[in-house]
Chain A
Amino acid sequence: GNSVTQMEGPVTLSEEAFLTINCTYTATGYPSLFWYVQYPGEGLQLLLKATKADDKGSNKGFEATYRKETTSFHLEKGSVQVSDSAVYFCALYAGNNRKLIWGLGTSLAVNP
């Protein structure tokens, strides 16, 4: 069945450090891939997405590339800020069951 595996947290970085949060998936067919973010005290919101292989999603300085050959969708940011402290969720949508399949979330704390 479909599944998402993302790196466990918590991740703690200093401001301006490089961020990578790994996400790999298992799916039949050609899923769409998402990163959602949950800031403290707020609801989940879409950060970026990619709908086909080799697509790169980007938003707020974050990027993720849909790699079909490695079944991965790793989240990266070149220089994190304190305001990026949040929980990040990787998810896939395969369409056949009409539900998003979620990773467990990775907590990121950025220190000044």
Chain B
Amino acid sequence: GAGVSQSPSNKVTEKGKDVELRCDPISGHTALYWYRQRLGQGLEFLIYFQGNSAPDKSGLPSDRFSAERTGESVSTLTIQRTQQEDSAVYLCASSLAPGSNTGELFFGEGSRLTVL
């Protein structure tokens, strides 16, 4: 597609349930990022994928969080046993390979997660 697509746009779930968030990056973008944005706060880096390299998972807050990406296509962020503090907007961004640009990211509109 023309831009980064994320789904669902809104998700309300009960505490303890698992959720999956999906990101479809811009075609040809080899780098993909997940960020978390809590209400009124800045962006919190979660995970970074670059091509077929091992992902940078240094931002994942706990082992309840995981993400996958197959090749240079769709990525899925999974949160297991959700907690109320997981409530946030989860943003996905993609970019060209780091060596070929200066860090410009293209963002999706985010998936708003509410854990009751």
Give residues in A with beta carbon < 8 Å to B: 32, 34, 36, 42-46, 49, 51, 89, 91, 93, 95, 98-100, 102-105
Contact = CB atoms under 8 A, between A and B. Distances in A.
A24 B51 CA distance: 32
A21 to B, nearest CB: 14
Contacts of A49: 102, 104
B98 interface: yes
B30 to A, nearest CB: 11
B31 interface: yes
Contacts of B31: 98
Interface in B20-57: 31, 33, 41-43, 45, 48, 50, 56
A46 B104 contact: yes
A34 B107 CA distance: 14
21 contacts: A32-B102, A32-B103, A34-B103, A34-B104, A42-B109, A44-B91, A44-B105, A46-B104, A46-B106, A51-B102, A91-B103, A93-B102, A95-B98, A95-B103, A98-B56, A99-B33, A99-B56, A100-B105, A103-B42, A104-B41, A105-B43
Given A32-B102, A99-B56, 19 more contacts: A32-B103, A42-B109, A43-B4, A43-B91, A43-B110, A44-B105, A44-B107, A45-B107, A51-B102, A93-B103, A95-B98, A95-B103, A98-B31, A98-B50, A98-B98, A102-B43, A104-B41, A104-B42, A105-B43
